[in-house]
Amino acid sequence: VVTILVPNVPGDAPAEGRLIVTDNAAKARRHVEWGLQQRYYDAATSLLIDSDTLVTTGYAGVQAAGGGGYDPDTGTNKVIQASLYNEAVAVCATASLTHVGTFRVRARVRTLAPTALVRAAWWTGDGASAANDWVTTPTVPSTGANEFEVNLGLVTFPAAKLGTQSSIIRIDAQSPDTTVYTLEVDYLKLIPVDEGYGRLSTPYVYETGVLKGTDGFTGTTAGGALNARVAPLGGTWATSGPAGDFTFADTPRECVTRGTISEAAGVGRLNRLGTATYTDVEVSSLFRTTAAGLDSNGAVLAQYGLVARYVSLTDFLEFTVQSNGLFLSIFSGGGSVGFQLVPSPRLEADRWYQLRLVCFASGYAYGDLLNETGTTILARLSLNNTRLATGGTHATGGVALRDVNTSSVVHNRYYDNFNVATPAPEPIAIHPSRSVEFRHDGVLRASANGTLYGGVGEYRGGPLLIPPAGDQNRTTRIIVSAHRSDLQTSSAVGSGAATSDSTTIEVRYRPRYLTVPGP
């Protein structure tokens, strides 16, 4: 987070403001949030509460090194760590806070659970406590723990009429099942909302791209090999990997199929379209299985997949539906790294489904499982990894179909309507090394090349109006939080919202008066 103080604002009406937020880390930002306080601004209060100052005495948590996190004093302990059970536990709490007003609480947590339930409870003085709704963290990737910044809702601290101002925020958590998991709390962020607040988010919404390659596998001879076929657009197919090529079929319609069984786990059979390499890329295909290819729970026995950013047979980005769920992964040096795995919806035999994989130069990739026509998203995965970003090991590459069957069950897998395209531009709140302005009359964002300012994504909040200092000579404090991840749709942070990302903010204003100032 970044804060700025705005003292000595003249006038007797709120000034028309401009809050200019600039990325200095050459990283795209998808979520920007700001809050303003003046009436109850206190220089002694911090809006970022690190784990070092959280209280564990009497609670389930303990100070620990953990898996790493924000640590301004570079000490040994970086987080609060607690065991989660299938009953709520009080993990930790803040020390006595002298903040006054209403704040949005965001907590950075790290969990080894598939998901975890987290909430904020709070009270002022010796008054009654209140608790917000439980928040479920996103599904943890099967690589292990991941960091999330979760929105724990609003807390309100009324001003003490007599005596010392004192409020507490407590963090509660719970396991999703009877397994005992570990939760780590890194920091709490308090964003004031009383006197000014805004949130700009840019959720990914699919839009049709520019077609670069396509093959509907029509006009083919059943039983012929896909290898060396020239597609209507995109180049020639070339296969690699284990024996057993994709072959043409006329049933259930003209398409390609593969029926190999008992294959070794790993790369599988790849059939690459053309030799072109893509940076921003979209690849999609229909797939279909038979009843023999499903288990009793509607899970597929084989792996049906798409490949983008193909560098070699051991280095590529893959999106597959497989027996244990939907799998979005970077295949590097023959093994999967930085992957996401979530359960797949129950699939039906003899029905076409669509897989769609989109990857951007920012390092973000999205995998969608859809119905045949692509009108309904059945499940979505997202991944952010520097290997996929500009300068990374998988920054560009080819596209391919992928098929693997490690089971001994005989069944055919079918594929159709393979397409590759340049996707529509990625939704961004702040382009790398550019700015966004929150203004009294709207929100403007600099284009990627910095030549113009235009519209933005989804903005919720008010205009930037800065209260005058008044006779009390009050100072206004503004806090800004800018993330690489869109926290409205995916609260995963990790390297995707590194606290080291440099951001600068600047405030400009035009005073306003209800009466003409005197000489």
- Whether residue 488 is predicted with pLDDT greater than 70 in this model: the reply is no
Whole-number pLDDT of residue 142: 46
Q: Which domain holds residue 128?
A: 45-194
Indicate if 299 and 373 belong to the same structural domain. Answer: yes
Q: Which of 373, 400, 422 is the last residue of a domain?
A: 422
- Whether residue 64 is predicted with pLDDT greater than 50 in this model: the reply is yes
What's the average model confidence in pLDDT over 338-360? 92
- State which amino acid sits at residue 499: T
H-helix segments, 326-410: none
Residues 115-140 have pLDDT tens digits of 899 999 999 998 899 999 999 887 66
Whole-number pLDDT of residue 329: 92
- Whether residue 145 is predicted with pLDDT greater than 60 in this model: the reply is no
Whole-number pLDDT of residue 267: 83
Indicate if 402 and 478 belong to the same structural domain. Answer: no
The two tokens of residue 51 are 């784990």
CA distance 358 to 340: 15
Indicate if 388 and 468 belong to the same structural domain. Answer: no
What's the average model confidence in pLDDT over 303-330? 94
Q: Could you give the percent of the chain with pLDDT greater than 90?
A: 75
Are the C-beta atoms of 30 and 484 separated by less than 8 Å? Answer: yes
What's the average model confidence in pLDDT over 331-351? 86
Under the banding of pLDDT at 50, 70 and 90, the label for residue 498 is very low
- Whether residue 283 is predicted with pLDDT greater than 90 in this model: the reply is yes
What's the average model confidence in pLDDT over 155-160? 95
- State which amino acid sits at residue 405: N
What's the average model confidence in pLDDT over 352-359? 98
Indicate if 72 and 145 belong to the same structural domain. Answer: yes
Place of tokens 């009497």: 58
Q: Which of 160, 194, 228 is the last residue of a domain?
A: 194
Whole-number pLDDT of residue 141: 53
Mean pLDDT of the chain: 92
Residues 170-220 have pLDDT tens digits of 999 999 889 899 999 999 999 999 999 999 998 889 999 999 999 999 999
> In Å, how far are 144, 150, 463 from 511, measured between CA atoms?
52, 37, 15
Indicate if 414 and 434 belong to the same structural domain. Answer: no
Residues 430-478 have pLDDT tens digits of 999 999 999 999 999 999 899 998 878 789 999 999 999 999 999 999 9
What's the average model confidence in pLDDT over 296-320? 95
Q: Which range among 165-174, 177-186, 336-345, 497-506 has the greatest average pLDDT? A: 165-174
H-helix segments, 376-484: none
What's the average model confidence in pLDDT over 29-51? 95
Place of tokens 């309507």: 417
Are the C-beta atoms of 397 and 311 separated by less than 8 Å? Answer: yes
Q: Which of 162, 194, 226 is the last residue of a domain?
A: 194
CA distance 178 to 187: 27
Q: Would you list the DSSP string of 191-247?
A: EE-SS-EEEEE--------EEEEEE---S--TT-BSTTPBPSBS-BEEEESSS---E
- Whether residue 265 is predicted with pLDDT greater than 80 in this model: the reply is yes
Indicate if 112 and 54 belong to the same structural domain. Answer: yes
- Whether residue 379 is predicted with pLDDT greater than 60 in this model: the reply is yes
Whole-number pLDDT of residue 130: 96
Cis peptide before 252 (omega within 30 of 0): yes
Least confident of 16-20, 32-36, 178-182, 476-480: 178-182
Indicate if 484 and 405 belong to the same structural domain. Answer: no
Under the banding of pLDDT at 50, 70 and 90, the label for residue 484 is confident
Q: What is the DSSP letter of 492?
A: B
- Whether residue 495 is predicted with pLDDT greater than 50 in this model: the reply is no
Whole-number pLDDT of residue 493: 52
Indicate if 231 and 267 belong to the same structural domain. Answer: yes
Are the C-beta atoms of 295 and 267 separated by less than 8 Å? Answer: no
Whole-number pLDDT of residue 486: 77
Residues 85-112 have pLDDT tens digits of 999 999 999 999 999 999 999 999 988 7
What's the average model confidence in pLDDT over 301-325? 95
Indicate if 64 and 181 belong to the same structural domain. Answer: yes
Whole-number pLDDT of residue 286: 98
- Whether residue 485 is predicted with pLDDT greater than 90 in this model: the reply is no
What is the pTM for the complete model shown? Answer: 0.85
Least confident of 25-39, 68-82, 100-114, 219-233: 68-82
Q: Could you give the percent of the chain with pLDDT greater than 70?
A: 95
CA distance 444 to 323: 46
Whole-number pLDDT of residue 516: 77
- Whether residue 489 is predicted with pLDDT greater than 90 in this model: the reply is no
Rg for the chain (alpha carbons), in Å?
A: 27
CATH number at residue 73: 2.60.120.260
Indicate if 400 and 309 belong to the same structural domain. Answer: yes
Q: Provide the b/e sequence for 98-137 (b: ≥16 CB within 10 Å).
A: ebbbbbbbbbbbbbbbbbbbbbbbbbbbeeeeeebeebeb
Total structural domains in the chain? 3
What's the average model confidence in pLDDT over 340-365? 92
Under the banding of pLDDT at 50, 70 and 90, the label for residue 334 is confident
Whole-number pLDDT of residue 183: 92
Indicate if 22 and 86 belong to the same structural domain. Answer: no
| DSSP H or E run through 83 | strand 79-84
Indicate if 244 and 346 belong to the same structural domain. Answer: yes
Closest Cα to residue 509, out of 14, 117, 175, 97? 14
